[in-house]
Homo-oligomer: A and B are copies of this chain.
């Protein structure tokens, strides 16, 4: 019987190194440790990816910093290396335990069996632990090289410079980032259950111990590594903090117990018990495992990169994924985490104001790819052409303006679901007002018509750049403008002093009447039962099949969008766009309208983004066709088990884990299949269970109270 709480792979194949690094990832929101072997290094993409620490080397893309790897441990037996991929392995198995957040491996070489497990502590954000157990096949002379490997994986590095090392009392490596000179420190403590001789050494690749011992067959040798990581963003003296934590943390078992207790709490707040297929149940668990592994529980104000903490792809940047795909699961299960994500946007408002001004607009234009302090990480050249190897001008940075509306949408949603307007008062209202002002200045009116337009934008479907009046964007902008007006009215009643001061500070009073006019002139009309055109002229584009477009592809890595892409001038779209609009604004569309649009757009959607399937699944549940949702659910939930998703955009590697799909899987199960909706503190359920599922059971937190929801084909229950 399938264990729905773990995933294992037997055997070793070199071509799985990249994918396994992602699917066997462990993390705690502060850092992510790729699913690599203890003895691996840069060539196998071993990495300790740090959340929120960025560095730019020269004119290469800015990206998050990987810390030195303090869990490095490589065994030599009689002078022969025992390392996966470098020596022949007779058996090999790698496992990730979702419930406990523990990674393990079990590898039999001809000379020795190596079993190890590791975790990134959910109880202590700065702590990494591993335990290695060696079973020698014959008596042998053994040497374990373990320490802090500073020769680490980087896409656009190096990022760490000016290394200094200590070998006593424990190993310590300190360095600074190149751009902002942020100090980064890693300390490593070793314990064994056997006597040994050792030397400690500093090389150009780090600081290490050589532990030599005469090993006996039939005896078991255990080594535990305790590693502490700190940066200058955490403390004034990261080196000292790392040494202290190494010194003060308890035994491996004690640390593990504390870690497991935290994971247990997490699962009790959010696990979805899915009865039906074990494969689906495991995929659901895997999705939530990956999401929780990277949630910024340690921080007050931080968000989640598009590829989580699985590496430096997508520049470690925060996208709209956070507000539209991750925010829902958190606001319904751990609202304090939803708040942490939104506080990141409040804190980075100055960057958004700067970006708007840079383009000649007013208000807040949030970065498409937000890096530290709200700096825009997205460049004007985000794809490399596979035919000419030249950078291609893309318009994600300057035209994907719906981002500001997405953030306002989530800020308002937080208030709607929690009934708590404190976040609005703590900066959220200012963000919404500034986003509305941005759309006001970005909108145009034709000289001879009384209709507003948003011209030259990119909607969620990025294959069609520079379009006019994208329905999703126009609605998101009109919504943002009307939320600005609504929140003004709200606080004029509840806290006039607050809102009047804010309006005055922002010199906003004269924008109010403009906003009133613009929000009405911009709001798209959605006639009942009609197809919604994705943007002006979409229906006039070539209406060919996905297969036709695919048949025109000359290089599997070529990008389908931009002016030259094979999809750009057809009706084939990358991901849900009109359907995302319908998923996010359910009250604007009848079930019939949703179904008609779904049936039009679904066959025309490549689902080339992991953000797509969940929107289609949610809307299929809406018109009571969960059977149409099922395949999308499975694909979404399993994405980080199967290693699915695109790996290349032009010549740029974009692989990693998929937090948005992870959040999307929860959305499909809870908001789609169970039909969960929270309004004014009231839970409603409208079950649309597919036949593959017998029941769903999951906790929901509403206004500080946790309830458990059970949904079956017969009905539902709220405890």
Contact = CB atoms under 8 A, between A and B. Distances in A.
Interface residues of A, number: 38
Interface stretch (A20-28, A142-150, A444-452, A697-705): A444-452
A447 B518 contact: yes
A466 interface: yes
Contacts of A443: 446-447
A631 interface: no
A360 B564 CA distance: 25
A362 interface: yes
Interface string A490-530: 00000000000000000000010010011001000000000
Contacts of A387: 387-388
Contact of A448 (B453, B514, B554, B562): B514
Interface in A332-362: 360, 362
Interface string A539-574: 000000000000010100000001110101100000
B453 A444 contact: yes
A563 B388 CA distance: 13
Given A562-B563, A563-B562, A564-B563, A446 B456 contact: no
A513 to B, nearest CB: 11
Interface string A686-709: 000000000000000000000000
A268 interface: no
Given A388-B387, A554-B388, A564-B392, A444 B448 contact: no
Nearest to A391: B569
Contacts of A564: 385, 388, 390, 392-393, 562-564
B456 A448 contact: no
A18 interface: no
A538 to B, nearest CB: 14
Contacts of A453: 444
B448 A445 contact: no
A223 interface: no
Interface of A: 360, 362, 380, 385, 387-388, 390, 392-393, 440-441, 443-449, 452-453, 455-456, 466, 468, 511, 514, 517-518, 521, 536, 552, 554, 562-564, 566, 568-569
27 contacts: A360-B536, A385-B564, A390-B564, A390-B566, A392-B563, A393-B563, A393-B564, A393-B568, A393-B569, A440-B447, A441-B446, A443-B446, A443-B447, A444-B444, A444-B446, A447-B452, A447-B514, A447-B517, A447-B518, A448-B511, A455-B455, A455-B456, A456-B456, A456-B466, A466-B466, A562-B564, A564-B564
Given A393-B568, A393-B569, 5 more contacts: A444-B453, A444-B455, A447-B452, A448-B511, A456-B456
